[in-house]
Amino acid sequence: MQTSFLRPTYIEIDQQAIYHNVFETAKRLHDDAELFAVVKADAYGHGLVPVARVCREAGATGFCVATIDEAMALRSAQITEPILVLGISSPQTVAIAAAQHISLTFGDLDWLKEATRYLEQTANLPALNLHVALDTGMGRIGFTDQNQLATAVTQLRQSKEFNFEGIFTHFSTADERETTYFEQQLAKFNAMMSVVGERPHYVHVANSATSLWHQVCHANMIRFGIGIYGLNPSGNQLQLPYELEPALSLYSELVFVKHVQAGTAISYGATYHATQDEWIGTIPIGYADGWLRRLSGMPVLINGQRCPIVGRVCMDQIMVRLPEQLAVGTKVTLIGRDGVDEITAQEVAEYSQTIHYEITCGLQDRIPRHYLPKREELD
């Protein structure tokens, strides 16, 4: 999608907030533990390469992505640190990954067999770094059988095509108050690890939620994701043990203001009718930008006041009810602070009955990202 630089809608990314969140987390780790920054999905909508660079400065020693393409984008940006692709990649891509020193994930013997076949057809490549995924209760990817895991580990250690770099699992309820299922997953992980023998370089079980609220022993790397961006992994269920600073704000401005009489219908389907004579403002953002259609009624901030979206969200525009006549060009805050009030990504998520991950990831690249410099860059 074409980025619309000449439209007054933009996202502001506070790089100092990202630095703070990573630095504060990294300094709390044990001396032998590392922090890999999870920057998949364009860094959760915050910008892959700019975020990765700030995370590296703040103490991240590696990165996690979802696809090889994301990893290659980091390599093209001269990010030389370890990069792990968390999802399953096609065995046909293993030569590309090996050549780029990109670590891949696998979770079954068939994948390993196919990958071996492709690598044996190439020459002069470094060994491919592999991380073994264990499914301890997430139900997504990974080994569930100890015997098959033991076979895979043996094959890795006997192969010249592979380097057994890591092993990991993913907790599905680490952001919830009830810990029974978390503890069951941890027990399953420890049982699976009993057949591994000598541990690889990286053993990792902690996503953001696990790193914030659970002390998990015998792991030496965390995958820090949503916390980078200053958002609470649990929404509002659990209190953060230390402050995280939200990094993303979303702004626009009024591009059209009109006075309508009582009874005037606004937007598609005529679902809203003015209850009295009203001032209506139009803002250039819509569901094509990721501002969800179900956000009708959600307020925005204008001059510190909450102004609700009226009528249905359009593809490219929304209309809001204004408290009074306001000038075209007046700033609008959709996510962020205006005066003493603030609209958070969490509030937007709750209104639209989803999670803040989906809100930030869904903001399309049609909206330009503006990056505020870190404080030391202001000196």
Active site residue 251: no
d(CA 300, CA 54): 30
d(CA 81, CA 58): 14
Is residue 149 within 8 Å of residue 143, measured between CB atoms? yes
The answer on 222 and 253 residing in a single domain is: no
d(CA 206, CA 192): 16
Average pLDDT over residues 361-365: 97
Q: Which of 19, 40, 44, 272 is the catalytic position? A: 40
What is the model's pLDDT at position 209? 66
Is residue 223 marked as binding?
no
Range in 5-9, 177-181, 370-374 with the lowest mean pLDDT: 177-181
Residues in the chain: 379
Average pLDDT over residues 55-77: 98
Residue 347 lies in a domain: yes
pLDDT band at 216 (very low <50, low <70, confident <90, very high): low
d(CA 222, CA 21): 14
Active site residue 202: no
What is the model's pLDDT at position 312? 98
The answer on 257 and 213 residing in a single domain is: no
Q: Which of 27, 113, 258, 268 is the catalytic position? A: 268
What is the model's pLDDT at position 378? 42
Is residue 138 marked as binding?
no
d(CA 339, CA 301): 9
The answer on 140 and 46 residing in a single domain is: yes
The answer on 208 and 77 residing in a single domain is: yes
Q: What is the pLDDT of residues 152-171, one digit of tens each?
A: 999 999 999 999 999 999 88
The answer on 349 and 225 residing in a single domain is: no
Handedness of CA 86, 92, 98, 101 (dihedral sign): negative
Q: Which residues have a Cβ under 8 Å from the Cβ of 152 and sit 6 or more positions away?
A: 106, 109, 112, 132, 143
pTM of the full structure: 0.93
Domain of residue 268 covers 248-378
Instruction: Give the end of a domain, one of 177, 197, 229.
Output: 229
What is the model's pLDDT at position 379? 40
Q: What is the pLDDT of residues 163-198, one digit of tens each?
A: 999 999 988 887 777 788 888 988 899 999 999 999
Residue 101 lies in a domain: yes
| Count of the separate structural domains present in the chain | 2
What is the CATH number for 265? 2.40.37.10
